[in-house]
Chains A and B, each alone.
Chain A
Amino acid sequence: MELLEQIKERYLDRLSPATFRSRLFWKTVEGLALSPLNRPHWKADRVSLAYFIRATRDAYLRRAPVVWCNLLVPSELVLGTGCIPFYPEMAAAVVASAGLAPRFIDHAAEEEFPSDACSYHRCMLGCAMEGFLPEPDLLLAVNYPCDSAPLSFGFASDLYGAPQFVLDVPLPGREDGMNLLAGQMAEAARTMAGLCGRTEREMMEGLSEAVELSNRALGHLRRVEEMRKRDDCTLDGDEAMGNVSVLAGCMGSPAGEEFYRLLAEELRERGSRGDSSLRIMWMHLKPWYSQAIFHLLREHGARLVCEEYTHATWEAMDPRDPLGSLAAKVGGHFLVGPVERRASHLVRLAEEYRVDGAIHYNHWGCRQSCGGAPLVKKALQRVGVPTLIIDGDCVDDREYQEGQVSTRLEAFLESLR
């Protein structure tokens, strides 16, 4: 039985905010994670699971200052200062996977966070209001990929009485833009180091070390990417999409390096799949509560060979200039600025992974992704990649119209044959 199923069966009905602040709970969770009953599909998943359990435990038990981060906050920046990065958007995905999101979304609705807003953030706010999330000492948001994080973190900042810091990433190509961003990052880093009682020198050493670890992980990730481009790669996108949490939250830790090292090794060992499936690219994220859409893809002889958010989008960084390097990493992300950058990234992926078609999963309430979907579709069609846009919701299963999705998906896959 999968670990998640075990946790669901044993604990979900009894969960309370106090449960997450109990050492016994975390001891049990760690025990289950290490037990032979937990057999993840990939060895690397055991590493990431252990890392996240440990970091989340430490956040709840307040073993170090906790910093809430949104997706584009580089974990190296937080880990390097000695704080624990906590990504509430990922927490919402975990809550959705456990089938608990509607309860928290409804709680947020009672506080007048309406259904037009992103359900990741409504779920997160519902959890926060019920006391289920670890209390932040600081909330750190990048102003991309979307408006939701700086805004919902603002509410959480009031709720917890913790300060909020927003990194204003300049538009691409702006003169002095990266220096301005590095300056903001330095200020955020000093605030975090201050929370941990670290000196400036200790902070810079920590950041350099985090950047070095991140570089080593990047090297392995590049190997993973090269192997995934082969016809016979055995890592499908529905599994790989979970790695977005590793890419966002583990870089700069030994676990990040180990995760990608093991993944690359196992991909090499597993070798050929030898099938002739349709090759599909997935855009935006997936519905975390259901695998139905991916079963359907397989039934129709299609595989996800690449996804939008799990690839390296930066170059190796300079440990002697960690803040400048991290500014370049964030500032150069394809989600920063106009949609043409995102479209270029996706066209490049489509070409490198030789896809037969692409699917854009429109997460309701996501202005940055839904908003750009028609233009992304046009860009892909210009290079001959048929593209399907499906409306749905990544977190709230009540907004997922399975019948409608199946009909449209089947028609699309038929058209690709």
Chain B
Amino acid sequence: MGDDRIAWFCAYAPVELLLAAGLEPVRYFGDPSRIDDADALLHPAICPYVRACLAQAMQGGGPHHAVFVNSCDGMRRLYDAWKELFPEDFVFLLDLPRNAGKAGERVLAGEYRQLLAALRTFRGREITRDDLAAACREREELRRSYLRLAGEASGAARLRLAQSFQSPPGSAEGGGAAACAHPVAKAGREIPVLLTGNLLNPAGMVSLLEKAGARVVWADLCNGDRAFAASTLAEGESVEEIIGGLAAAYLERPPCARMLDAERRCRILAENARQAGASAVVYASLKFCDSYLYDFPRTRERLRREGIPVLRLESDYADGHAGQVLTRVEAFLEMIS
């Protein structure tokens, strides 16, 4: 029997199309403890999440059919390495425009068309309008369930919950509400913060923030709340209409730092911070992520203009050396409290 599971990595992956093809989409979060295993195929100065995913795949744990989004150099290099490792599997690279708006939507809808065609060939069956509509509804229900369950959850528990909603319940990554049951020792007082960045390890940087006394009330991360913040529910009378709607919806979601419209991203960040009652923004990203490396100085300036204090942190995904970071976070929280 073939493997019905399919791996995805980037928050821009259109999971609805994979569901519509009757596949079980599993998001990889990688193995942060085995990052160096990826050295043979990926340079050490590449995103540690990307390297952790390759390391996990090399151990043979997860599915090897995979859909990659051409969202950054790191992801494209992961696609290259994956193709080299798993030449017999279904491995697809989906483009993602930096420009939103109608032109971007046309490009992205074209990409969805390509992916659907490849999935039809791979699965040996048609993917109908009804399949797509059902998949969109399923994703929307899941998104709403997450937001309901996340409720007052914060920090590592919130991030674990978000991760569990990005893979099916039976998988190692999935786990639904059970994911909340990982209490972190907290400081006596808690200061609400909004966490923004790319993709963080719940057991690493996020737990550390809590230990220092921060309460992460909104995790604007690729593996956190960002994927659930806006609906991607698309409706229509035909496959074409639905993929058009889906392309528009994905480009309308709160963007990651690689997208062109930085002003919109900062506006959303500031709004989210205010709505969530955050006293500050913690800007934490993985090393070697160019999107966030170049974005930070101007986002910091924009947020400061809004009167929002900002702390910059960097993670290597494993986050083994936390002492210095803890001190910095404590000092920052002391300053803003």
Contacts and interface: CB of A to CB of B under 8 A. Distances in A.
Interface of A: 111-114, 116-118, 121, 143, 146-148, 150-152, 154-155, 158, 164, 166, 168, 170-171, 174-176, 180, 183-184, 337-340, 362, 364-365, 367-368, 370-375, 378
B297 A371 contact: no
A164 B260 CA distance: 9
Interface in B284-324: 287-288, 290-291, 293-298, 300-301, 312, 314
Which among A143, A146, A166, A368 has the greatest number of chain B C-beta atoms within 10 A?
A143
A168 B110 contact: no
Contact of A375 (B84, B104, B114, B301): B84
Contacts of B296: 112
B294 A371 contact: no
18 contacts: A113-B294, A117-B293, A118-B290, A151-B295, A168-B98, A171-B95, A180-B106, A180-B110, A340-B83, A367-B46, A367-B290, A368-B77, A370-B43, A370-B46, A371-B43, A374-B40, A374-B43, A375-B84
Nearest to A143: B98
Contacts of B297: 111-113, 155
B45 A365 contact: yes
A242 to B, nearest CB: 25
A190 to B, nearest CB: 14
A148 B41 contact: no
A337 B288 CA distance: 20
Given A373-B43, A374-B41, A117 B290 contact: yes
B290 A148 contact: yes
Given A116-B288, A367-B45, A166 B98 contact: yes
B229 interface: no
A155 B95 contact: no
Contacts of B293: 113-114, 116-117, 151
Contact of B80 (A148, A338, A364): A338
Nearest to B262: A154
Interface residues of B, number: 48
B129 interface: no
Contacts, number: 132
Contacts of B298: 154-155, 158
Interface in B209-240: none
B81 interface: yes
A294 to B, nearest CB: 24
Contacts of A114: 293, 314
A174 B95 contact: yes
Which among B70, B84, B98, B99 has the greatest number of chain A C-beta atoms within 10 A?
B98
Interface string B105-118: 01100110010000
Contacts of B98: 143, 150, 166, 168
A180 B294 contact: no
Contacts of B47: 367
B93 interface: yes
Given A111-B297, A367-B77, A374-B42, A174 B99 contact: no
Nearest to B79: A338
B83 A338 contact: yes
A367 B294 contact: no
A375 B294 contact: no
B288 A367 contact: yes
Nearest to B98: A166
Contact of B294 (A151, A175, A362): A151
B22 interface: no
B71 to A, nearest CB: 9
Contacts of B14: none
B46 A170 contact: no
A264 B104 CA distance: 43
A170 B107 contact: yes
B98 to A, nearest CB: 5
Contact of B41 (A146, A340, A375): A375
Nearest to B72: A147
Given A117-B293, A151-B258, A375-B84, A168 B287 contact: no
Given A117-B290, A155-B298, A174-B95, 12 more contacts: A117-B294, A148-B294, A150-B98, A158-B298, A166-B98, A168-B104, A170-B107, A176-B110, A365-B288, A368-B76, A371-B80, A374-B43
A154 B290 contact: no
A152 B292 CA distance: 11
Interface in B245-261: 257-258, 260
A113 B298 CA distance: 11
Contacts of B314: 114
B25 to A, nearest CB: 21
Contacts of A143: 98
A184 B74 CA distance: 25
